[in-house]
Amino acid sequence: MEAKYNFADRFGDQVLRCSKCGLCQAVCPVFGAMLRPSYSARGKMLILKEVMDGTIELSDELIETLFQCTICKSCFENCPSGVDVPEIIRQTRRDMVQIGSCHPAFEGMNEVLKNHTNIYAEDEPEDFERERNKKAKYVYFIGCVGSYREDEATMSTLDLLDRLKVDYTLIDEVCCSGVLEDLGYQINERLARKNIDLILATGAKAVITGCPYCSRTFNSKPQYAELNDKGIKIIHVTQFLKGMDFGVKTDKLVTYHDPCDLGRHCGIYEEPREIVRKIAPRFAELRHNRVDALCCGAGGGVRGAYPKNSIAMARRRLQEVEEVGADVVLTECNSCVHNLSNAKLRKQKFRIYNISQFINELMEGTE
């Protein structure tokens, strides 16, 4: 008997393998912040089991949990039964979109990207006082959050690249649209084409980006395969900066937050730390780090659809920063910086920066 929904077809055996042990509750950021069983990976699997056995159908009533997952992969890393909840959620969201049951914020994002260049439908990015679309060795791809929400951080990173005399250019970039694949939609081909054309036109041999989500999208999605085919490398800025000497140090106590998209999704844990240790001899790990890092709460579309819960998750992560007594939290993902900064309380005196931004501040002597 063929399954009614694609998620059941592709992942039914995994959904059934969930033994309901509940261990995911220890690591799920949504559950951890909201303490609501329906939000944990187990809750989602129990609901999908009932869909599979016909007790309920996919419907609007399920949106609140099926669309509230940051796709951080912590559950999968800790599931004794190896249930790939993130993949199952991605497919289920596609099924939900097909039947017309999608979170309005995600539907909205898909629509916005049909008609605009970025997820915020804002048409005037900061110009960052730099030329775009030149011929150069590297393209620096900022990403939507960096362009429209964390412009200060982006400016700092670009200043750093200038100090290091990197031959790069910005482009009239548009949203990589990779996020749509997490929301139940697909990459916007028009936008992908635009990015590819702009990148190729610069003659660059590599694209550096501060956004690990964009770098993952360029590296793994077929719509961007042409870049790989033409030998263009995609590098996250931490991979680019690794090995360089900046000649600056701080005596502040510094810690590092692993972005999910760089860490669990790409396995990049040590390169950023190498850079951080070079500039910050006083380094402390957060309680949950590397593969166990606690998600900041912004991913999987959650910051757009459930902003208050998203910020509550970030606040939980920041408690770990407080615990360790750090003066500075470094990361390299604008989405993390954005969500963590929004969540930081006034009484919390530590500062939050991208690594590249912080190095620039040190070099400028303004940190």
Partner 1 sequence: MDETVKKALLDIVREENFSDSLIDLISDSYDASEHKHRPDVAVWPQNTEQVSAILKLANEYKVPVTPRGAGTSLSGTTVPVQGGIVLDMLRMDKILEIRVEDRLVVVEPGVVYDQLEKALDSYGFFFPPDPASGVVSTLGGNVAVNAGGLKGVKYGTTKDYVLGLEVVLANGSVLRTGSRCMKCVSGYDLTKLFVGSEGTLGVITEITLKVNPKPPAIATCTAYFDDMADAGSAISETMRSGILPRTLEFLDDQCIVALNQGTDLNLPEVAAMVLAETDGFTQEGADYEMDKVIEVFERNNARGITRAYSPEEAEHLWTARKSFGGVITRLKNNFIVDDTTVPISKLPEMLTGVKAISKRYNVPIATMGHLGDGNLHPNILYDGIDPEEIARVRKATADIFKLGLELGGTLTGEHGIGLAKAEFMPLEHDEVAMEVMRSIKRLFDPNNILNPGKMGLEV
Partner 2 sequence: MEIRGYNMPEDLYYEQNHFWVRDEGDVLVMGMDDFAQILAGEIVYVQLPEEGKILKAGKRFAKMESGKWLGKVYAPVNGELVAVNEELETNPGLINDDCYGKGWMYKIKPEDKGELDNLMHTHEELDTWLAEDIEKYVKE
Q: Which residues contact partner 1 (rule: CB under 8 A)? A: 13, 16-17, 19-23, 25-26, 35-38, 40, 42-43, 46-47, 50, 56, 61-62, 64-65, 80-82
- Residue 103 binding partner 2, by CB under 8 A: no
DSSP codes, 54-86:
TSS---GGGHHHHT------HHHHH-TT---HH
| Closer CB to partner 2, 165 or 349, in the complex | 349
Query: Residue type for 87, please?
Result: E
From the centroid of its chain, how far is CA 176? 12
Is residue 234 classed as helix, strand or coil in its secondary structure?
strand
Specify whether the CB–CB gap between 154 and 129 falls below 8 A: no
For residue 342, count other CB atoms closer than 10 A to its CB: 16
Cα separation of 270 and 263, whole Å?
Answer: 9
Choices 255-263, 284-292, 324-332, 338-346; region in contact with partner 2 by CB under 8 A: 338-346
Shortest Å, Cβ 225 to partner 1: 33
Could you say whether residue 316 binds partner 2 (CB under 8 A)? no
Which is nearer to partner 2, 128 or 148 (by Cβ)? 148
Residue 349 binds partner 2, judged by CB under 8 A: no
Residues 125, 184, 263, 304: which binds partner 2 (CB under 8 A)? 304
Instruction: Please tell me the total number of residues recorded for the chain in this structure.
Output: 367
Smallest gap from Cβ 76 to partner 1, in A, equals: 12
Residue 148 found at the interface with partner 2 (CB under 8 A): yes
Separation of alpha carbons 362 and 303, rounded Å? 30
Q: What single letter denotes the amino acid at residue 326?
A: A
286 forms part of the interface with partner 2 (CB under 8 A): no
Residues 190-209 that bind partner 2 (CB under 8 A): none
Closest CA to 359 of 242, 270, 258, 213: 242
Give the count of beta carbons closer than 10 Å to the beta carbon of residue 59: 12
**3-state SS class at 235:** strand
Least separation in angstroms between CB 305 and partner 2 = 8
The helix/strand/coil state of 254 is strand
Q: How many chain residues are in contact with partner 2, going by CB under 8 A?
A: 14
Span interacting with partner 2, options 78-86, 191-199, 231-239, 307-315, rule CB under 8 A = 307-315
Q: Which is nearer to partner 2, 97 or 311 (CB)?
A: 311
Instruction: List phi, psi (to 5°) of 282.
Output: -95, 95
Closest to partner 1 by CB, 62 or 180: 62
- Considering only 82, 123, 346, 366, the residue that binds partner 2 (CB under 8 A) is 346
Amino acid at 298: A
User: In 10 A of CB 51, how many CB atoms?
Assistant: 22
Stretch that binds partner 2, among 175-183, 244-252, 324-332, 340-348 (CB under 8 A): 340-348
Identify which of residues 57 and 364 has a Cβ nearer to partner 1 in the complex: 57
The yes or no reply on residue 124 touching partner 2 (CB under 8 A) is: no
Residue 149 interacts with partner 2 (CB under 8 A): yes or no:
yes
Using CB under 8 A as the criterion, what x/- string covers residues 223-242 for binding partner 2?
--------------------
Signed CA dihedral, 331, 22, 66, 219: sign only: positive
Nearest distance from residue 135's CB to partner 1, in Å?
50
Residue selected from 271, 292, 342, 367 as contacting partner 2 according to rule CB under 8 A:
342
Q: Is residue 31 within 8 Å of 25, Cβ to Cβ?
A: yes
CA distance 341 to 350: 10
CA 321 to chain centre: 20
Nearer to partner 1, 57 or 162 (CB): 57
Interface residues with partner 2 (CB under 8 A) are 105, 108, 120, 122, 148-149, 304-305, 307-308, 311, 342, 345-346
